[in-house]
Structure 1
Amino acid sequence: MSRFFRSSDTESDSDTSSDNDSQYSQSDSEYDSDAESYHSEAEEEQQPKNRFLKGGSDSDDSDDESSNKRQAKSQKDKRIEEMETAVKAIENGQKNNDWNLISTEFDKLTVAISRATTGFSAIPMPKFYIKTMVELEDHLTDSLQKDKGNKKKPSGNSKAMNNLRQKLKKLAKQFDESIAAYRKDPEEFMKEEEVEEEPIAAPVKKKEILTQVAVDGKDDGFSSVGKGGKTVIPLSSENVLVRLREVLESRGKKNTNRDDQIATLEALLANSKSSFQKISVLLALIASRFDITASKAPYMDLAVWKASAIEFNQLLQVLETNKSFVVTEDAEDLDNDDKDVVPKDGEVIKLRGSILSFVERLDDEFNKSLQNIDPHATDYIDRLRDEPALYAMLDRSQFYFEVNQIDFALPRIISRKLDHVYYKPEQVIGSLQAASKQLLPNYVVSKITNAEDPATFVNQLCNYLYKDNSSVFRTRAILCHIYHYALHKKFHTARDLLLMSHVQDSIHQADIGTQILYNRAMVQIGICAFRDGLIKESHAALSEIQGSGRVKELLAQGVQAQRFGQPANPEADAMERQRQLPFHMHINLELLECIFLTSSMLLEIPAQAQAGPNNKKFISRPFRRLLDYNERQAFCGPPENTRDHIMSAAKALASGEWEKAKDFILAIKVWDLMTETQEIKDMLIRKIQEEGLRTYLFTYCSYYTTLGLAQLSSMFDLSVNSVSAIVAKMIFNEELSASLDQVTQCIVLHQVELSRLQVLSLQYSEKVANLVDQNERLTSNGRDNANINPNSNVNNISSHNHTHNSNRNH
């Protein structure tokens, strides 16, 4: 039988064998019972009861309780013991010259002292803390003097020494009187004062404390207590700087309530009397408002932004009225011992701060808000109304930098101002300047940009940035200037500035923001050329961007949608969205596409008629692709969108029906978005008539021997002189084999019959062109997989093309 069931077996055996128990005598049973009781009492004396049983206890606990009685220590004794432990560790570190240990233990000691000397159960400042500070300072001075000649010092140890020296220097200002008393007579200073211990009172509830404070409206020796049991010093003009230092020390720490900090700083600002106090509090308050914006929030809250803008203007006003104070980034920390600073006559006191970073942050948050607000809602318009206030702050900051000769900040401010005006018409720029000027004092007048005329004002901004040493500012100024010229229909000026600057040669090395600005400038040049009737120039400027198929991304007006199967990249998407331009800066993409396709139509249709139906060459690949797709449709209904109108106009123009093409083009509603709508439509009618005439001549010249100028004039509603000029230009460019008879006012067409060799050469050249097309496709798919040598093909193709061209000329 298993031993684990022995007890149960014995119990069963005792039950079943009750009859056999009678063999034992009664004396034996009594003896056995006495023996069992004796053994049980002995075991109980040797082995204590289990602690989990009622009235039981553990052996270890009973031994501890019997040998060592628990001693209750007060909170004060625990803190003093903690301090003494830290002091002993500091003394050991001094013996071993371990400054890392000393610095760590001194931090612990300082924290313990701070906790012990504040709150309800506050104790006086322990004198051994002053003694430890003085001894540490003396020992640190000796160690630094010894280590002056030693060049191979441990980097960690020296860093700890420098940090500890800074801490001791800061604390020496706080306890200067105690340190001076200790150095004067250490023995007298260290005599402990006999302090009568007050009996420990019963704990008082919170309601009782409030009742005691509020009795008869008197303090009765009580003081206000803030969060964490710290005594709150009431605000006054004398302790503004002390409270400000406390707020700055708690800034950025864990579990710090930023809203409470801002409320405290606002109260400090209300109690500030001197200029130094106002400047110090405003610098901290504006920075704290920037901190309150959550990192995950897309932009700063509008109420916080407006409050920051008001305080920023207040800061500039104090600095402008008190020329003795200058806020710069390169100023050293002012050692004023939390006391007010009053400058002497003619003295200039520099305070550490950054006006530039404040105004740039306000500008960035303004743009972020415009990026994230729905542009079709009224909130977007309401937000745009804050732009004059922001522009006024930029003007005021520029004036401050000019007066105080802070030259490094001027290019950045002027570049920000240029970003706000370069894309706007002159009337809007004038309104912005007038609105911002009303928000500024009369004495704020810039010497660099003081022109009232918007065009001259933009020139002043750009010319100042041209002289800057930074290539980034120069490049952006050039592109903004080009955009502004093109916007105001100065195509040739914008084109010449672009060509002379050679920006296009190095734009691929610029940052993404500058590349986006370059794309916007090129698009605006193309639109300007179209408005001037320069179709070829417009197509050349727009072809690269429109042909890419990524117009939204290149102009920062949208984010490319993720293709099916591609993994999403949250970081890339976030960066892409941060670069998006606000809606009011967008270029109308539908208008841009309409201009590009119209220009392509006016160039492609005559060129296709000249080359013949079997020609594979094209001027505009996107237009040719759309036209082929439209022609392959089994059923073509009436045009519904911009593309359909242009494709229908292209087919009508190719068949010689210029009036029908004109109706399709003029039916597009996008032309109404342009400022000079009627001028654009008149230009389009004239271009359609001219290109219709050229297409007609290219298509039907082989069927006529002569054509009358008057007949062509009536067919295309052009003057005879215009028809004559167009035909003469075609003859001069060798596009048309004909001669112009001025006597009879006719066009004499020359029928040129090709020889057998020329026909074969043309056929051969077409086959070679097909081969080139196939070669380009294989190369784009992968040159390694194609297993071809493209260099030999290119050489052969170029020689065949040369032969073909010579035959055609012959």
Structure 2
Amino acid sequence: MSRFFKGSDSESESSSSDDEINVPRAGTTAPRPVAYAFSDEEDEPKRIVRSAKDKRFDELREIIKKMGNHKKIKDMASVLTDFEELGKAYEKAKKVIEKENQIPRFFMRCLVELEDFVAECWEDREGRKQMSKNNAKGLTTLRQKLKKYNRDFESDITSYRENPDEGEEEEAADSEEEEFEMEIQEDFSKSRTKEDTKAAKKMAYDDDEDDDDSEWDMSSDSSSSESDGGEGPGTTVYTAAMFLKKQPGEDKKEKKDKKEKKVRRKKEEDEGGEWEEVTKGAPMIKEAPKMFAKDTEVNHEAVMKKLNEIISARGKKGTDRNEQIALLQELQSIADANNLGPAISMKIMFHIISAIYDYNPNIATCMRTEMWEKCLNTVGELLDMVEANSDIVIGENVLEESENVTTPPYRIRGCVLTVVERMDEEFTKMLQACDAHSTEYVDRLKDEKAVCDILDRLQAYTVPRGTTEEICRVYLRRIEHMYYKFDPEAYDNPQTENKTFQEMEEMCKFIYAKDLTDRLRTRSMLCQIYHQALHDRWYEARDLMLMSHLQDTIQHSDVPTQILYNRTMVQLGLCAFRKGMIRDAHNALVDIQSGGRAKELLAQGLLLQRQHERTPEQEKIEKRRLLPYHMHINLELLECVYLVSAMLIEVPYMAAHEMDARRRMISKNFHHVMRMSERQALTGPPESMREHVVAASKAMKTGDWKACKNFILNEKMNAKVWELFYKSETVQEMVTGKIQEESLRTYLFTYSSVYDSLCLHTLSDMFELDKGVVHSIMSKMIINEELMASLDEPTQTVIMHRTEPTRLQSLALQLSEKVSSLVDNNERIMELKQGNLFFQKSGGTQDRQDRFQSNYQQNRSQNWQDRRNQRQNYSQRTY
């Protein structure tokens, strides 16, 4: 009955009571509470119990994923943080990994990819310059930490690089299964939420339907429910599967099938060729654009036209340099395939090398490693072509209009010498840019053999057909790769003719005779002097340096030549020291060591300047002049040799002129080191090289030669200095002998006033010298009037003459000299003042001025002569 029908009260009551019962219609579900529709068992997802291995590995994967995102944007500071977190997470997972007895492949892949990524960023010098300060610091720190961290996994990383695909299938399968479970749970939760909202909307719509339909539905539903035993459509129970598009098992099954298909495809690719998926429709074949059109005839004109087209893009903004090199190489292969002759192939090869040199737009930076290797191989191929086709005329004097690449005789514009010189310069840049203490520097240094081989081949090609200037340039390049290399055979057998010495002498003589620029002659002469001094040929090197007179004109040379001159003088000084020429060694090294700028003068590094800072341009220019590390001279060895030479000269001189107020200073640097030591309040045992020399000097002043020797020659000094010499035992014996001789001289200067006579035998035993050596030293001192004594040959004694003043007399003489100089100054000042007053009062004519000046000079000379006579009389009385 309709609820809008109005009847009696009883009927209305009965109808109202009937209306309170909401009966669903057929085909719909009864509106039931949500708690009833979805039971607790259906609401709660199944709890997944995960093993410790899965937890730890998932933590590692999350960090690796985060690191990958940071690598994409090159946020090096964040990558460093992720790497540190990865190390901590790996430490936590170590127990699990030890149980598995295998490091996970994804972790090794992360380390290998991170190592390659850091190496790529480090080689990209332009990119590093554009990095922020934080990212640049992060990259440097990450490189150091990663290198140190990967040492523990060297064998695993090596095996992974050899077989990167091994074990990837199992790992992919495990990771995909975990992803499937996560996706099923997410799909399940999303679908439940979506279907619940739809069901709620539908039930709200059904409640607003007419009562007539509901009554009809009630009757039909009740009948159906009775017939079905209470399990009809009106009592449908909602389950999770009703709201899913696919059953969980089906979805998982499909994804497993995809995974098996992927693994099967991988195996097929490994077993036999490439696997290609067939799509609907006709297959589309993509071909690379061809160099020439299909119907174009490939001849000399077409190739030259294409070559000019490629070269025209050289240097333009936006030109892909890699693509330009690839196009030129492809054009060369096409020319070779069509047998267009060796001339056109050689011309293209010249342009390929030029494109490789142009790859790096900044002249101050070096090539990348792969480009350098390509350059080395390409120059070698060019020399092969040049040697195989000696009839082809190649030169810079060949004009482009007169080139002929079609028919013999061939003529090509180009210069093989310039190409090789540029390659040699790039090799030097590569060594300058490498870290001197890294394996990269050693790898690059191995290429020097290939560079020297190319120079030898260039010399063999240039000498028969080149001009005099070109031959001199080739010779100098070879000399500059030879002069600093030590040959033990030539050192041990100086009398025999050595091949290296012969070659260098022949090349240098040719340059001396034929060079017209004067620069090549100067550099070759300095290289020859350096090479002679390196092998201890002291007299040859010294004579060549004195004959060249380079010390008078070197200041007018260019800076690299001045650097070479400094290096040559240093090597000459070291050679003199090894030969026992202490004074010559000191004279050769004093100019380099006196200013404290030896590192900069030898082009082995830059020093901070206090007065003014360098501009960026000046710093770039000076860095370009720096020498590669393998050509450096040890600065600590150089300073030690200089200070020891200064000690052996200066200490006896100071003892001989102790009371002389006007004694000259032989070595300023040595005196500065001594003064700095005397200023110290507490003096401990020596640690540095300078402190050892200072302690040895103090011992020599007292004549204690054994203490002096122990300070100079000990284990610490041997490791730092003396073992750097070839045959260091010979050098140490020479230093010991010099210390004994100079200690004897110092002892005689200091204590001669105490003795009446000295026995030569006693001095020989005291300083452990032969009697002949002691006799020679004493005789020289007496002849040079350094010691007032006489030798008694029968008794082998030295008798002192007592002509030296005592200490008190010496101090009195010094005081008298200072007082006399003070009186001279006062008289000069008074006379000048009186003369000025006289001229002002009298008007001062020119004659009076001249007369006054002459009288003043006469009086001054007479006063000086009188004072000199007085001092002589006083000294005779005191003696």
Bin for the TM-score computed over the shorter chain: 0.5 to 0.7
Structure with the greater relative contact order (CA < 8 A, sep ≥ 6): 1 or 2?
Answer: 2
**What TM-score, normalized to structure 2?**
0.58
**Letter in structure 1 aligned against 2:461:** Y
Q: In the aligned structure 1, how far is the partner of 2:346 from the partner of 2:819?
A: 81
Distance 1:766 1:376, change over 3 A: farther
SS of match in other structure, 2:743 = helix
Question: In the alignment, which residue of structure 1 is the partner of 2:330?
Answer: 267
Q: Which residue, out of 731, 739, 762, partners 1:711?
A: 762
CA 1:585 to 1:528, structure 2 compared with 1: closer, same or farther past 3 Å?
A: same
Q: Distance in 1 between matches of 2:441 and 2:822?
A: 54
1:479-530 superposed Cα distances (whole Å, 9 cap, x missing partner): 1111111111011111111111111110010001111111111111110010
Deviation at 1:476, TM superposition (A): 0.8
In structure 1, the gaps of 5 or more residues are 1-213, 431-450, 773-791
Correspondence for 1:481? 528
Find 1:631's aligned residue among 678, 693, 710. 678
Instruction: Name 1:577's counterpart in structure 2.
Output: 623
Give the AA of the match of 2:583.
Answer: K
Question: In structure 1, the residue corresponding to 2:752 is in which secondary structure?
Answer: helix
* Offset of residue 730 of structure 1: 0.5
Larger radius of gyration: 2
**Equivalent residue, structure 1, for 2:421:** 360
The aligned counterpart of 2:736 is 685
Q: Is 1:351 aligned with 2:397? A: no
Partner of 1:529: 576
2:486 counterpart residue number: 425
Q: Structure 1 residue aligned with 2:500, among 451, 454, 457?
A: 454
Structure 1 SS opposite 2:753: helix
Would the aligned equivalents of 1:597 and 1:646 in 2 still touch at CA under 8 Å?
yes
Q: Secondary structure at the match of 2:481?
A: helix
Task: Indicate if the aligned counterparts of 1:421 and 1:429 stay in contact, CA closer than 8 A.
Answer: no
CA 532–312 in structure 1, closer or farther in 2 if over 3 Å, else same: same
Answering whether residue 356 of structure 2 is matched by residue 282 of structure 1, we say: no
> Residue type of the partner of 2:754?
Y
CA separation in 1, counterparts of 2:439 and 2:822? Answer: 57
- Alignment partner of 1:641 out of 671, 688, 691: 688
Instruction: Say which of 610, 626, 636 aligns to 2:656.
Output: 610
Letter in 2 for 1:248: I
Q: Tell me if the contact between 2:405 and 2:412 (Cα under 8 Å) persists in the aligned partners.
A: no
CA 249–714 in structure 1, closer or farther in 2 if over 3 Å, else same: same
Do the aligned partners of 1:319 and 1:326 also contact (CA within 8 Å) in 2? no
**1:438-478 superposed Cα distances (whole Å, 9 cap, x missing partner):** xxxxxxxxxxxxx9711111111211111112210111111
User: SS in structure 2 opposite 1:739?
Assistant: strand
Could you tell me which residue of structure 1 aligns to residue 190 of structure 2? none
CA RMSD, Structure 1 to Structure 2 (Å): 3.5
C-alpha distance in 1, partners of 2:596/2:533? Answer: 24
| Cα distance in 2, alignment partners of residues 395 and 769 from structure 1 | 70
State the aligned residue count: 542
Structure 2 residue aligned with 1:396:
457
Structure 2 CA distance for partners of 1:734 and 1:538, relative to 1, 3 Å: same
Take 1:767 and 1:257, find their aligned partners in 2: how far apart are those partners? 84
Q: Does 1:321 align with 2:388?
A: yes
Q: Secondary structure at the match of 1:366?
A: helix
Aligned residue among 280, 293, 304 for 1:241: 304
Q: Does 1:725 align with 2:812?
A: no
Question: The residue matched to 1:458 in structure 2 has which SS?
Answer: helix
Q: Is the CA contact (8 Å cut-off) linking 1:237 and 1:271 kept in structure 2?
A: no
SS in 2 for 1:740: strand
The one-letter amino acid of 1:579's match is R
Q: Report what 1:464 is aligned to.
A: 510
Shift of 1:745: 0.9
Q: How is 1:504-583 mapped onto 2 (pairs within 5 angstroms)?
A: 504-563=551-610, 566-583=612-629
Tell me by how many angstroms 1:757 deviates.
11
User: Which of 691, 696, 705 is equivalent to 2:747?
Assistant: 696
Distance (Å, rounded) in 2 between the aligned partners of 1:429 and 1:682: 22
What SS is found at the alignment partner of 2:412?
A: strand
Deviations 1:648-695 (A, max 9, x none): 000011012111111001021211111121111111111111111111
Q: Give the superposition deviation at 1:313.
A: 2.0
- In structure 2, the gaps of 5 or more residues are 1-280, 492-496, 825-856
Q: Aligned partners of 1:235, 1:577: CA distance in 2, in Å? A: 52
For 2:579 and 2:386, the matched residues in 1 are separated by 51
CA distance in 1, matches of 2:498, 2:377: 26
1:327 deviates by 1.4
Give me the whole-angstrom Cα distance separating, in 2, the residues matched to 1:296 and 1:630: 47
Q: Which amino acid in structure 2 is aligned with residue 733 of structure 1? A: N
CA–CA distance in 2 between the matches of 1:367 and 1:414?
18
Aligned-partner Cα distance in 1 for 2:498–2:796: 57
Pair 1:312-2:379 in alignment: yes
| Letter paired with 1:540 | N
Q: CA deviation at 1:240?
A: 3.1
**How many Å apart are 1:324 and its aligned residue?**
2.7
Matches of 2:561 and 2:823 in 1, distance apart? 40
Q: Which moved more, 1:325-334 or 1:498-507?
A: 325-334
- Structure 2 equivalent of residue 116 of structure 1: none
> Helix, strand or coil: the match of 1:553?
helix
Question: Residue 375 and residue 708 in structure 1: after superposition, are their counterparts in 2 closer, same or farther (change >3 A)?
Answer: same
2:727, 2:793 → 1: CA distance? 38
2:475 aligns with one of 414, 419, 426: 414
**Cα separation, 2, equivalents of 1:769 and 1:457:** 64
Matching residue of 1:65: none
What is the alpha-carbon distance in structure 2 between the residues aligned to residue 416 and residue 613 of structure 1?
Answer: 56
Scaled by the length of structure 1, what TM-score is found?
Answer: 0.62
- Name the CA shift for 1:296/1:464 in 2 (closer, same or farther; >3 Å): closer
Q: Which amino acid aligns with 1:240?
A: V
Identity %: 38
Aligned to 1:734: 785
**Aligned partner (choices 390, 404, 407) of residue 342 of structure 1:** 407
CA distance in 2 between counterparts of 1:235 and 1:291 reads 31
Q: Per-residue deviation at 1:425?
A: 1.1
CA contact (8 A) 1:224 1:232 kept: no
Distance 1:251 1:649, change over 3 A: same
Instruction: Rate the CA distance shift 1:215–1:595 in 2: closer, same or farther, 3 A.
Output: same
Q: Which residues in structure 2 correspond to 1:294-313 (within 5 Å)?
A: 294-295=361-362, 298-313=365-380
Distance across 2 between alignment mates of 1:297 and 1:572:
12
Report deviation, 1:393: 1.3
